[in-house]
Amino acid sequence: MNRVRSLLPPAAALALALLLAAPMTAQEKGDKNTHTGTFVSAAEDGKSFTMKDNNGKEHKHAMAKDAKCLGTDGKECKLSDFKKDQKIRVTTKEDDSKVATKVEALK
């Protein structure tokens, strides 16, 4: 019985550590294909958009043919649904950082 009691504190500490170690997002992991910033505008044809990175520098992305846009609710939307200055996370092709495969609105 004493042996079981002596194992409880380390087991509880381990369980707590595992519970607090939530899965990290791609951005937190430093995924080179994902970055965040703010939405500036979409092209009229919906095939590209301009964003500002976290340093305020504007750059453009073309949309991949199978690219997805997700609103803050996680549901699919159109690029034109994003509002100016909306925080976004952009995932790009591994071999081409100018082509977006996913654009997600952040809360």
* Residue with more model confidence, 20 or 65: 65
pLDDT at 3: 58
CA 54 to chain centroid:
13
Provide the residue ranges of all domains of the chain, joining segments of one domain with +.
25-105
pLDDT at 31: 74
Question: For the segment 47-81, what is each residue's pLDDT rounded down to a tens digit?
Answer: 999 999 999 999 999 999 999 999 999 999 999 99
What average pLDDT does the chain have?
Answer: 83
Question: What mean pLDDT comes out for the span 5-20?
Answer: 54
pLDDT at 26: 43
Report domain 25-105's class.
mainly beta
